[in-house]
Structure 1
Amino acid sequence: MASTHAGARAGATYFVDSRAGDDGAAGTSAATAWKSLDKVNAAALKPGDTISVKRGSGFTGPLRLKASGTAAQPIKIQAYGTGALAKISGTRDDCVVVKGDHWRVSGLRASGCRWAGFLLDGDSNELNGVQADRNVAGVYVTPAGSRNTIRDSVLTDNNRMSVNDEGGDNDSGAFGVLLNGDDNVVTGNTITGSYAKSDDYGTDGAAVEIFNGDRNRVTHNTSRNNETFTELGARKGKTATGNVFAFNVVTSARSRGSFLITRGSHHVVGPVKGTIAVHNSVYLPARDTIGWSCHDGCAPSILKLRNNVVMVGGEAGWEDGSGADEDGGVYKGRTAKFKLGPKSVMADPKFVSRTDLHLRPGSPALKRGVPLTPRWYGGKAFGKDITGKALPGSPDAGAYQS
Structure 2
Amino acid sequence: MRLLSVVAVASLLPAAPSAAQAQVQAGTTYYVDSRAGDDGAAGTSATAPWRSLDRVNQADLKPGDAVSLKRGSRWTGSLTLEADGTPARPIVIQPYGKGPLARISGRGANCVVVSGDHWRIGGVRASGCQWAGFEVAGDDNHLIGVRADGNVTGVWVTPSGSRNTIRGSQIVGNNRMSVNDEGGDNDSGAFGVLLNGDDNVVTGNTITGSHAASHDYVMDGAAVEIYNGDRNLVTYNKAHNNETFTELGAQKGKTATGNVFAFNVVTSTLRQGSFLVTRGPGHVVGPVKGTIAVHNSVYLPARKTIGWSCHDGCSPSILKLRNNVVSVGGQAGYEDGKGADEGGSVYQATSTRFKLGPRSVMADPRLTSRTDLRPRPGSPALGRAFPLSAAWYGGKALTRDITGRPLPATPAAGAHQP
CA distance in 2, matches of 1:62, 1:305: 41
Q: Does 1:163 align with 2:157?
A: no
Question: Equivalents in 2 of 1:263, 1:178: separation in Å?
Answer: 17
Unmatched tracts of structure 2, length 5 or more = 1-17
CA distance in 2, matches of 1:136, 1:4: 40
TM-fit CA distance, 1:332: 0.8
Query: Residue type matched to 1:30 in 2?
Result: A
What is the TM-score normalised by the length of structure 1?
Answer: 0.99
Partner of 2:198: 182
> Does 1:333 find its partner at 2:341?
no
CA distance in 2, matches of 1:381, 1:77: 27
| Residue equivalent to 2:329 | 313
Does 1:86 pair with 2:86? no
Give the RMSD, CA atoms, in angstroms. 1.1
Residues 295-310 of structure 1 correspond to what in structure 2 (within 5 A)?
295-310=311-326
1:341 is displaced (CA, Å) by 1.3
Deviations 1:279-334 (CA, angstroms, capped at 9, x unpaired) = 00000000000000000000000000000000000000110000000010000100
SS at match of 2:56: helix
Distance, in Å, in 2 between the alignment partners of 1:323 and 1:4 is 53
In 2: Cα distance, 1:4 partner to 1:111 partner: 36
- Runs of 4+ off more than 2 Å: 1-6
Q: Describe the SS at the equivalent of 1:30.
A: coil
Which of 104, 107, 121 does residue 123 from structure 2 map onto? 107
Q: Which residue of 1 aligns with 2:376?
A: 360
2:308 is the alignment partner of 1:292 = yes
Quote the Cα distance in structure 1 between the aligned partners of 2:21 and 2:311: 55
Aligned residue number for residue 122 of structure 1: 138
Query: Within the alignment, does 1:271 sit opposite 2:314 as a pair?
Result: no
TM-score (norm 2): 0.95
Aligned to 1:399, the other structure's residue is in SS state coil
Can you list the C-alpha shifts for 1:354-389, whole angstroms capped at 9, x where unaligned?
Answer: 111011110000011000111111111211111111
Alignment correspondent of 2:10: none
Higher relative contact order (CA 8 A, sep 6+): 2
The separation in 1 between residues aligned to 2:252 and 2:107, in whole angstroms, is 32
Deviation at 1:2, TM superposition (A): 3.9
In structure 1, the partner of 2:42 is: 26
Question: Secondary structure at 1:367's aligned position in 2?
Answer: coil
Q: Deviations over 1:144-194 (max 9, x none)?
A: 000000000001100000000011111000000000000000000000000
User: Does residue 1:251 correspond to 2:267, yes or no?
Assistant: yes
Deviations 1:60-105 (A, max 9, x none): 1200000000001000000011110000001000000000000000
Structure 1 residue runs of 5 or longer lacking an equivalent are none
The one of 218, 225, 233 equivalent to 2:249 is 233
| Match runs of 1:386-397 below 5 Å | 386-397=402-413
Structure 1: how far apart are the matches of 2:69 and 2:358?
54
SS of 1:3 mapped into structure 2: helix
Which residue matches 2:31?
Answer: 15
C-alpha distance in 1 between matches for 2:145 and 2:199: 20
The Cα shift of 1:342 comes to 1.4
1:195 equivalent in alignment to 2:232: no
**Contact 2:248 / 2:278 at 8 angstroms: preserved in 1?**
yes
Aligned residues: 401
Q: Which residue of 1 aligns with 2:159?
A: 143
